[in-house]
Amino acid sequence: MNDRTTEARSSKARTTEARTTTAPPELTVRDVTVRFAGLTALDGVSFTVAPGSVHALIGPNGAGKSTCFNVLSGLCRPASGAVTLGGTELTRLAPHRIAALGMARTFQNIVTTQGTVADNLMLGRHALTRAGFTASALRLPGARREQREHLARAREIAELTGLGPHFDSPVGLLSYGDRKRVELARALCLEPRVLLLDEPVAGMNAAERARTAEVVAELRAELGLSVVLVEHDMGLVMRLADEVTVLDFGRTIAHGTPDEVRRDPEVLRAYLGTDATGEDAA
């Protein structure tokens, strides 16, 4: 066994030991309606994400999936309805307050900064930093110690997401799939209890999609996270999701296990333009 393999396994073990022993709180979306200038983007949408589960939110383009994610992360306030995480209502909270409660998200498009993978992951740790600006600027002993601890944790998360060998590499030199995983790792650096993944494999080739699916499954197993997933890759959704909610024109048209949703006539109609008997809709 080489040194890199030993280090990766040791890091993974430390990550597993560091995870919380309590299950993440239940995430509940209840009768959420969002309107934009008279257009109803979400119409009374409701679903519940069970603690530690993978919950997929799917639907055709324009169904309201991204709007729903924006509500969950505090970027959009609904006209009515509520979102709760455990016993806390999130609906009127600012995004940074929601993040502090344990919610982190990625975006459809890659959002990374210049610099190394380590630099990007340390940005994700910034909200957890306790040392003040003065202590950090003067590099006081407590601030330096905290910086080392955050860097060590960022390296553990890089190993867990398959980015360990690239930790000190410039992000601009990475493949597309690795850059997408940098964004995923940066979200994990917030130590979330609920992770929102907005099209995590969009634009990837088959090998990159398979690797990212493995990473998401490992994160769920190792960290006990709840994951809410928006994704058009139905193969990935069917492999990873415990439950699926289907939106169409802002409304919930189906909810259930992947197998139940796959056979639902309304889902077939929305995706394939077929009626309940499987014939072409007029």
Mean pLDDT, rounded, for 221-248: 93
Q: What H or E segment, with its residue span, contains residue 37?
A: none
Task: State the pLDDT at residue 241.
Answer: 96
Average pLDDT over residues 119-131: 77
Mean pLDDT to the nearest integer, 124-140: 59
pLDDT tens-digit readout, 175-198: 999 999 999 999 999 999 999 999
How high is the pLDDT of residue 264? 92
- Percentage with pLDDT > 90 across the chain: 60
Q: What is the pLDDT of residue 117?
A: 95
Residue 28's pLDDT is what? Answer: 97
Q: What pLDDT does 20 receive?
A: 44
CA 170 to chain centre: 23
The highest-level CATH class for domain 3-45+64-241 is: alpha beta
Residue type for position 281: A
d(CA 144, CA 259): 51
pLDDT of 10? 44
Q: Which residue has the higher pLDDT, 109 or 43?
A: 43
Q: DSSP string covering 75-100, please?
A: SS--SEEEEEETTEE-TTS-HHHHHH
- Pick left, alpha or beta for residue 217 (phi over 0 → left; psi -120 to 50 → alpha; otherwise beta): alpha
The answer to whether residue 224 scores a pLDDT higher than 50 is yes
User: What are φ and ψ of residue 6, in 5° steps?
Assistant: -60, -45
pTM of structure: 0.82
Confidence at residue 272, expressed as pLDDT on a 0 to 100 scale: 63
Distance, CA of 113 to chain centre: 19
pLDDT on residue 226: 95
Domain ranges across the chain? 3-45+64-241
pLDDT of residue 216: 92
Please check the confidence at residue 134 and state whether its pLDDT lies above 90: no
Please, are residues 226 and 212 in contact by the beta-carbon 8 Å criterion?
A: no
pLDDT of residue 11: 42
Longest Cα–Cα distance of the chain, Å, equals 72
Task: Calculate what percentage of the chain has a pLDDT beyond 70.
Answer: 83
> Which of 277, 272, 279, 254 minimizes the C-alpha distance to 56?
254
3-state secondary structure of 106: coil
What is the per-residue pLDDT across 13-70, written as a single tens digit (0 to 9) for each? 444 444 444 789 999 999 999 999 889 999 999 999 999 999 999 999 889 999 999 9
Packed helices 141-160 and 3-18: angle between N→C axes, nearest 10 degrees: 110
Instruction: Give per-residue pLDDT as tens, 138-151.
Output: 555 566 677 788 89
By the 8 A CB rule, do 31 and 44 touch?
yes
